[in-house]
């Protein structure tokens, strides 16, 4: 056993708080700040856009600090406490997250405190927002609708992200993960302060809540103070829809759309029929590593370096959806050449032609990536939550062992299940 393997980094210790809330605590002495993450879990669907408005309205002020400016003055006073919200998706779930990070008191000048004030502010943000006549103020709601509309319209600014989403929407046109986490412009029509206030109450009372804390602080003090964040939450498993079954590929399809761009964004989607619980999940992870997720991977060394066809190229697997994607930015004139190059590499891995060295390098690279997660409380919390939502055990050690025991035959078996679905190209207008 190498020395690094002997180092023990504590994982999260989980306890149920109230009815259905889960508090995940881990001591962290290596860093200078404490980090806290609150995530409400809901279903993706046609109303994602209006749900995104809830965290946005919460960040506009509390009863005590009833404007964003007053709130920002307060966070600066609390040693630059950073509080931010994000909206994400994982499989068929919509994740509404509030993150906060603030200095550990040991690093502050003698006698300065921040922990209790920080938790109080976060509690106020979610339970005592700035309301007028018990409703989110109309001008704030209108302003946030406008900002949300602009965010949705601004998605085209990220061309590869746009191409990926378009591919997903077309490939999975009736599956729940097709919905973008920011939702649609359509959903933003006719949203009232009443709707949003009701949605906020529903979120904090009915949706499952996970709170992850990492910091240099006594566990009982953390548990005591953080329990307040769960007040009013009565969520249960029934708050979420049952897990969606994954689907096999049908006939491969192709689609080209045009935009004012300099290069084409090629997204190839595949169905794998492999979920996180499937015995071939880890072999598929390794296959994906050999194919396209590291600098030593086939797509990078062959299609980019040998053939000079692109700068960005990578593959990724999502076992919530049972899918694999290969993305690349290429000159439009060489899209066909790039596709042929990618197909050749897929075939290469499927035939088990990869060298023993490529196989070993991939195992080492995945293991190293998993261990590196342990240096980042944010990445650890993310891994913990996503594992729970996908129905796999959250311990990193379990996954590391499974990856280490993957065989070449299993990789070939996993790749045999990978079948092409939609190939999507976002091409320059001049090429239409």
The token pair at 177 is 């993960």
What would the x/- binding string for another protein be over residues 209 to 248, using CB under 8 A? ----------------------------------------
Q: Which is nearer to another protein, 253 or 332 (CB)?
A: 332
Footprint of another protein on 369-408 (CB under 8 A): 369, 371-372, 374-375
Q: Report the relative pairing of strands 419-428 and 310-318 from DSSP bridges.
A: unpaired
Length of the chain equals 432
Asked if residue 263 binds another protein (CB under 8 A), the reply is yes
Asked if residue 29 binds another protein (CB under 8 A), the reply is yes
Asked if residue 80 binds another protein (CB under 8 A), the reply is yes
Q: Which is nearer to another protein, 142 or 224 (CB)?
A: 142
- Are 374 and 396 spatial neighbours (Cβ–Cβ below 8 Å)? yes
Q: How near is the Cβ of 414 to another protein at its closest, in Å?
A: 21
Distances, alpha carbon 230 to alpha carbons 131, 135, 405, in Å: 20, 21, 40
Q: Which is nearer to another protein, 103 or 292 (CB)?
A: 103
Asked if residue 351 binds another protein (CB under 8 A), the reply is no
Asked if residue 75 binds another protein (CB under 8 A), the reply is yes
Distances, alpha carbon 67 to alpha carbons 59, 205, 221, 303, in Å: 9, 24, 30, 52
Q: In the set 193, 329, 341, 394, which binds another protein (CB under 8 A)? A: 329
Phi-psi domain of 205 (left: phi exceeds 0; alpha: psi -120 through 50; beta: other): alpha
Asked if residue 354 binds another protein (CB under 8 A), the reply is no
Count each helix (H run) and each strand (E run) in the chain, helices first.
15, 11
Asked if residue 81 binds another protein (CB under 8 A), the reply is yes
Alpha carbons 42 and 201: distance in angstroms, whole number: 13
Q: How near is the Cβ of 150 to another protein at its closest, in Å?
A: 5
Asked if residue 185 binds another protein (CB under 8 A), the reply is no
Q: How far is CA 126 from the centre of its chain?
A: 22
Footprint of another protein on 54-73 (CB under 8 A): 59, 67-69, 72-73
Q: In the set 368, 405, 407, 431, which binds another protein (CB under 8 A)? A: 368
Footprint of another protein on 110-169 (CB under 8 A): 139, 143, 146-147, 150, 152-157, 159
C-alpha count within 13 angstroms, C-beta hemisphere, residue 225: 17
Q: In the set 309, 399, 414, 425, which binds another protein (CB under 8 A)? A: 309
Q: In the set 93, 166, 304, 339, which binds another protein (CB under 8 A)? A: 304
Q: How near is the Cβ of 373 to another protein at its closest, in Å?
A: 9
Alpha carbons 87 and 414: distance in angstroms, whole number: 32
Q: How near is the Cβ of 365 to another protein at its closest, in Å?
A: 6
Alpha carbons 428 and 202: distance in angstroms, whole number: 44
Phi-psi domain of 190 (left: phi exceeds 0; alpha: psi -120 through 50; beta: other): left
Q: Which is nearer to another protein, 275 or 297 (CB)?
A: 297
The token pair at 88 is 């994400």
The token pair at 385 is 């939550």
Binding-site size for another protein (CB under 8 A) equals 70
Q: How near is the Cβ of 233 to another protein at its closest, in Å?
A: 27
Phi, psi of 376 (to 5 degrees): -120, 110
- Are 272 and 324 spatial neighbours (Cβ–Cβ below 8 Å)? yes
Q: In the set 268, 365, 396, 399, which binds another protein (CB under 8 A)? A: 365
- Is 89 strand, coil or helix? strand
Burial 383-393 (b: 16+ CB within 10 A, else e): bbbbbbbbebe
Asked if residue 337 binds another protein (CB under 8 A), the reply is no
Q: Which listed range, 219-227, 231-239, 310-318, 403-411, lies at the site for another protein (CB under 8 A)?
A: 310-318
Q: Report the relative pairing of strands 82-90 and 93-103 from DSSP bridges.
A: antiparallel
The token pair at 17 is 């708080």
Residue ranges that bind another protein, judged by CB under 8 A: 2, 4, 7, 9, 29-33, 59, 67-69, 72-73, 75-82, 101-103, 107, 139, 143, 146-147, 150, 152-157, 159, 259-263, 294-296, 301, 304-305, 308-312, 329-331, 357, 360-361, 364-365, 367-369, 371-372, 374-375
């Amino acid at each position: 056993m190498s020395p690094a393997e002997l180092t023990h980094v504590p994982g999260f210790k989980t306890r149920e708080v109230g009815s259905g809330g889960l508090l995940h605590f881990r001591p962290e002495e290596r860093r200078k700040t404490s980090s806290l993450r609150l995530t409400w879990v809901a279903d993706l669907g046609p109303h994602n856009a209006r749900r995104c408005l809830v965290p946005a309205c919460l960040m506009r002020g509390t009863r005590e600090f009833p404007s964003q400016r007053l709130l920002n003055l307060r966070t600066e006073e609390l040693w630059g406490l950073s509080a931010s919200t994000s909206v994400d998706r994982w499989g068929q779930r919509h994740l509404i997250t509030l993150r906060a990070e603030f200095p550990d008191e040991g690093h502050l000048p003698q006698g300065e405190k921040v922990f209790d004030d920080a938790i109080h502010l976060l509690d106020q943000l979610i339970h005592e927002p700035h309301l007028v006549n018990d409703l989110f103020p109309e001008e704030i709601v209108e302003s946030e609708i406008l900002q949300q509309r602009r965010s949705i319209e601004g998605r085209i600014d990220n061309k590869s992200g746009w191409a990926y989403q378009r591919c997903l929407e077309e490939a999975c046109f009736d599956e729940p993960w097709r919905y973008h986490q920011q939702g649609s412009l359509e959903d933003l029509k006719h949203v009232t302060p009443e709707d949003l206030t009701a949605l906020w109450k529903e979120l904090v009372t009915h949706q499952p809540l996970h709170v992850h804390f990492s910091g240099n602080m006594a566990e009982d003090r953390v548990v005591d103070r953080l329990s307040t964040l769960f007040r009013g939450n009565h969520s249960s498993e029934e708050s979420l829809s049952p897990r969606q079954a994954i689907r096999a590929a049908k006939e491969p399809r192709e689609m080209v759309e045009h935009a004012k761009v300099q290069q084409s964004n090629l997204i190839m989607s595949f169905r794998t029929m492999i979920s996180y619980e499937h015995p071939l999940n880890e072999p598929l992870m390794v296959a994906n590593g050999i194919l396209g997720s590291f600098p030593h991977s086939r797509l990078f060394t062959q299609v980019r370096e040998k053939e000079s066809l692109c700068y960005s190229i990578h593959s990724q697997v999502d076992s919530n959806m049972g899918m694999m994607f290969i993305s690349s930015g290429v000159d439009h004139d060489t899209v066909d050449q790039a596709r042929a190059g990618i197909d050749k590499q897929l075939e290469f891995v499927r035939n088990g032609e990869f060298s023993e060295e490529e196989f070993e390098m991939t195992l080492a690279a995945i293991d190293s990536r998993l261990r590196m997660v342990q240096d980042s409380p944010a990445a650890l919390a993310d891994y913990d939550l996503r594992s729970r939502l996908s129905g796999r055990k959250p311990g990193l050690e379990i996954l590391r062992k499974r990856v280490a025991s993957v065989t070449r035959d299993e990789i070939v078996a996993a790749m045999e299940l990978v079948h092409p679905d939609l190939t999507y190209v976002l091409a320059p207008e001049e090429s239409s």
